[in-house]
Structure 1
Amino acid sequence: MSIKKQQHDLVVLDMAGTTVADGGLVEQAFTVAAERLGEDPAAMIGHVRATMGESKISVFRHLLDGDEARAQKANLLFEDAYGELVSDGRIAPIPGAAEAIATLGEQGRTVVLTTGFARVTQDAILDALGWRDLVGLTLCPADAGGRGRPYPDMVLAAFLRTGAVEDVRRIAVAGDTSYDMLSGVRSGAGIVAGVLTGAHDETALTEHGAHRVLASIVELPALLQEFEA
């Protein structure tokens, strides 16, 4: 897919799988949450893998047949379990991610980090990595009206809150899941890049709208410069 050559001064990046390596903690936390809820995690894990990147409350609503009370309880159990795993020091930056984000800033771009987790979990990750001051804005679904990916809301919230660009086509979005790609495409972002450090492979990323698939986020600064030359 051709990409119009223009400056992309707002960069919206996913966290887990894209800038953060969590070693499969999402699946582990889902397993813990399901067991604590009295459900069979083996019956849920296929859907969990297929919907990586979606807001977790939406995943639980589907898995629990729209039972809102149980979905909310499951979501809290998941966030608690994930927070416990994070506090054990079981996450790390994707190699070179912090440096890539710094390079994007040096190129004059505004970088926003987004997640499908709740704010408390996002903050726990940022604290564990020492990333509180890495970027000026971080967003979770609650910051964008409650809808996470594959809706475009978090990308558009970044657009509105930062005022970094006047045209959504000057946004670049990067993520590791099909839902990241859909969110970027639906927002009208000029560049939607997939990375192969997380949940989904090149075929899935491309089929859901990736303009380019990269080995990792480390390649993003050069990609943006390529399409702006």
Structure 2
Amino acid sequence: VSAARRSARALELLDLVGLADKAKAYPGQLSGGQKQRVGIARALAGNPKVLLSDEATSALDPETTRSILQLLRDLNRQLGLTVLLITHEMDVVKQICDSAALMRKGRIVESGTVAELLATPGSELAHELFPVTGTATGPDRTVLDVTFHGEAATQPVISQLSRTYNVDISILGAAMDTVGGKQIGRMRIELPGRYEENVVPVGFLREQGLQVEVVDATEEPLLVKEIAK
């Protein structure tokens, strides 16, 4: 590759990652985020089909992290580039990933689109992405984890449940966020009474397109994991 072509390609890539004005800067004159952008530009020099990004934001402040993630998303769309992002930060997954895979001891234990994972009963990744906590506040209580996604996430389903069945509902915890432009989240709620007394309200939630997981049901001496779409 000629010197002229190399120079032109370098300037092209610096412009692509927002560093056109830093072409003559020394590494020591760049911030951490700018150095990451240089690394991305260098990786793109050979026109790869896949960009491997290993913990690209682990040492960056929140604002710089957001800018780097936005850059990766823009490159994904502009270049039709697949980005394989390795991270331990669940917020990063929520902000940028279309699909995700969970690895343990070198093996993939679950994978799929983020939407599919959130709709998968018992998904570890779904629980990590939207963690909720809380235990029953007293005897004869039923605790449910309710996952909202799609159109159901924009509907006042919990208040409808309370009005329809005249039931007092306690919210023990909730985690909501926007993923891929859609509001998604999980909520842990408590219903008065044993599970067998709440079969109809639970059925109502499922009829609304929600995923309902029974976390604690007092008719069983041990933790109950009844999962259904």
User: Which range, TM-score by smaller chain?
Assistant: under 0.3
**Structure with the larger strand share:** 2
Which one has more relative contact order, counting CA pairs under 8 Å at least 6 apart?
1
Of the two, which has the highest radius of gyration?
2
State the TM-score, normalized to the length of structure 1.
0.24
What TM-score comes out, normalization by structure 2 length?
0.24
